[in-house]
């Protein structure tokens, strides 16, 4: 139970059809001081966010495939385009900063007609330090105070328009 003296953790919602990517993001972001909600698609994202939480960051895979694995009683996920559903997610979480992720490069996505326009993008695969630097760049001063000796510079695998 939360008391008046307990700080509310900022929440990140990660939507990706790859369980390994969900695990990497959730573990990294939790170590960084965030509460993390994960979803394998849009239906589970809506279920995960029915609790009142302050979502400050939306990490969304560009091409969400239909997950192979599903728990009993869990609604079937449909394939979706993260760029196309981002506006509806932003209406649900108007204060959240969007971050699109994909195994495809920026040029490959644009060639396929999936232009993320003015949204931050991080190409997979990425490691926890790269995710941490990206979060620092998108949410300066919001993540955990103990950042260790990691550099805050954002690498070539991240781009902002």
- For residue 5, being part of any structural domain is answered with no
DSSP the chain: ---TTSPPPPEEEEE-S-HHHHHHHHHHHHHTT-EEEEESSHHHHHHHT-S---EEEEEEESEEPPPS---TTPPPP--EEHHHHHHHHHHHSTTPEEEEEESS-HHHHHHTT---TTSEEEESS--HHHHHHHHHHHSTTTS-S--TT------TTEE--
- For residue 3, being part of any structural domain is answered with no
The pLDDT score that the predictor gives to residue 13 is 94
Cα dihedral 85/30/50/135 (nearest 10) = -30
Q: What is the mean pLDDT of each run of 10 residues along the chain (161 residues)?
A: 56 92 96 92 74 81 69 56 82 89 88 79 95 94 50 45 45
Give the predicted TM-score (pTM) of the model: 0.77
The pLDDT score that the predictor gives to residue 32 is 93
- For residue 72, being part of any structural domain is answered with yes
- For residue 6, being part of any structural domain is answered with no
Nearest to 123 by CA among 158, 84, 82: 158
The pLDDT score that the predictor gives to residue 3 is 45
CATH number assigned to the domain comprising residue 35: 3.40.50.2300
Residue 129, both tokens: 């330090």
Residue with the two structure tokens 């091409």: 63
Write out the residue range of the structural domain in which residue 39 sits: 11-159
- For residue 123, being part of any structural domain is answered with yes
Indicate the number of domains in the chain: 1
Nearest to 68 by CA among 34, 17, 125: 17
């Amino acid at each position: 139970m939360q008391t008046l003296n307990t700080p509310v953790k900022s929440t990140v919602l990660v939507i990706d059809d790859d369980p390994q990517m969900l695990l990497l993001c959730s573990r990294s972001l939790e170590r960084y001081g965030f509460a993390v909600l994960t979803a394998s698609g849009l239906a589970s994202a809506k279920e995960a966010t029915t609790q009142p939480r302050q979502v400050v960051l939306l990490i969304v895979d560009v091409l969400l495939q239909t997950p192979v694995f599903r728990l009993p009683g869990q609604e079937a996920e449909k394939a979706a385009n993260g760029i196309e559903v981002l506006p509806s997610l932003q209406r649900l979480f108007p204060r959240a900063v969007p971050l699109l992720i994909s195994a495809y490069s920026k040029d490959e996505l644009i060639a396929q007609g999936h232009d993320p326009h003015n949204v931050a993008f991080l190409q997979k695969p990425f490691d926890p330090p790269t995710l941490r630097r990206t979060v620092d760049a998108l949410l300066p001063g919001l993540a955990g105070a103990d950042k260790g000796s990691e550099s805050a510079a954002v690498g070539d695998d991240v781009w902002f328009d």
